[in-house]
Chain A
Amino acid sequence: MENVIEIKHLNKSYGTHEVLKDIDFNVKKGEVVCIIGSSGSGKSTLLRCINLLEKPSGGMILYNEENILDEKHDINKYRTKLGMVFQQFNLFNNHNVLSNCMVGQMEVLGRSKKEAEEVAMKYLKYVGMDQYINAKPKQLSGGQKQRVAIARALSMEPDVMLFDEPTSALDPEMVGEVLKVMKELAETGITMLVVTHEMGFAREVSDRVVFMNQGVIAEEGTPEQIFNNPTGERTREFLKRTL
């Protein structure tokens, strides 16, 4: 399988503090990759570098073999290929559920209102939020918000879905509904990159698990390798604490 995303020698530092150190990392088409690791290990930063919410300090990010850090590259067009789901949902507060899923399609992709509405409804139904199309974000629970956020990202019909700790801000009883949607999504064959603390999800759903520690990729492999036979000392310690 070809690589959708290829990351070479990626560095990111805030002042003298190095958050990412010389990361090499690839994501293949249709692959579901989970990134695990303790807080401050750089996993969220890596994800945010990929859609350029953080500007890398050095290295290369290739998307379908094009260097997206090149100044001439159209960042906004590139971002439409990546669907982002945030920890804090970040639904547009001024739009209702339906419109949250339509505004990007209409403004950025130039779709007609009718088309955008059809697409949005398709994905809202998919996440089970089609009954709430007129609700404002403040009227929804955390789990509902996150499902709408997933539908919003899917409405742009991206090639890759990025999840940045999508269940970390949820009450425990709402984690399940979001993970269920994500599992179903993983089965459709869409490329997914998930930063998560949900080890069960990572073990069950991912094709590959990446363990990050102190700004470097400490270990990566299939779920069986990482969870059953971790080789690194750090990985073992981390899993012992979290499982």
Chain B
Amino acid sequence: MGKIRTVVKREYLTRVRTKGFIISTLAMPIVIGILTVAPALLMTLKSEKPKKIFIIDQTDRIFSGLKAALKDTTKGGISLYKLSKVETSPEELPEVRKELTEKVDEGEIDGYLVIPKDIFERNQAQFYARNVSNFRVNENLEGAVSKAVSLFRLSNSGLDPERVRKLVKGVNLRTFKVTGRGKEEEDTGATFMITYILVFFLYISLIIYGIMVMRGVIEEKSSRMVEVIVSAVKPFHLMAGKVLGVGGVGLTQFLIWSLMVGGLSLYGRSLVSSLAGEIGPLSLPGIPISLLFFFILYFLLGYFLYATLYAGVGAMVSSDEDAQHLQMPLVALLIIPFMLMFYVIGNPNSGLAVLFSLIPFFAPIIMFTRIVVQTPPLWQILLSLVLLGSSIGAMVWVVSKIYRVGILMYGKRPSLPELVKWFRYG
């Protein structure tokens, strides 16, 4: 056991002391912070320059309503759209359109909108612009034209538009998450966000640390260090020490991140809200301790399962290039549950979700997703843990035999029959 400790210590210290570890540990929260806050910040930065749009209103009745409806402004209160009406007769339309198209082409105007005479019957208008991928502009225009058209229709039928607006006013749906112990908490999509972030994190961590183990094994093989070590330590102890050491690196990173997030939510709220300014109160969703517990639990179990498999892959190959191919099945095993996550968030108790959350290879991600969304029955959690635990045992047994032979084999990667042979020798 003392020797495992020596191996664990080396695996842990050599990784934790690298610049790469320190930088990635410090940079990761910043990157994630930027990725989550940036879109919100960007949304508040409306386009600097007002969009110049020409309107050909063949009905001659929409333009004023349209102008009134298109009130979107930038931060500074400048109107986002500069609309100009183009007077034309139906006969001149092709000529005018040609002119306008040229103007768009030259960048003189951003686009032009054609409101045909039959818009009240056919409900269609055309927008021509160089960039029609700005969904915000498209949506605004569509909304404004629709509004102007329906306003016109309403007043045409002798109804008071203001009255109608009041009568058909929509209703907001507020959502409350009912958790155990009869509590109700208002939830404005935070559950989905937390689930997504945590599961994504879990998925990425399993891959990153799995690959770290694999590369460690390959490094020992390719540097020919391995034979010296297995002359002092049992191959199984070397493998176990490596898996434990790298796992420790992962836990250390999580610990540092939790402390950073904890610190941020304690002292950073004012900072964030001052930065975010007009976005309004940006609530940092709190993560319950029980979730953290399950996160660590499923990370560790998933990690032991996948790290063992990755160690096996490392033992089978002699170079990183060979490993690329051989690790594909493992990546696939991790991607499948990640893809299923969205389905599981929607249907956490469906038969499929339950089934996948019990299959050991998928359990870390799927069962954890289910736990975050809606706590599943205890027996299902326990069953998944038992299945996961026993598959880890089985995998360790199989892989350690292959590992024992594989680490001393160089050259081309083994075929399946060769693997079976290795397993028998091991």
A, B co-complexed: no
Q: Could you list which residues of chain B lie within 8 angstroms of chain A, going by C-beta atoms?
A: none
Q: Could you list which residues of chain A lie within 8 angstroms of chain B, going by C-beta atoms?
A: none
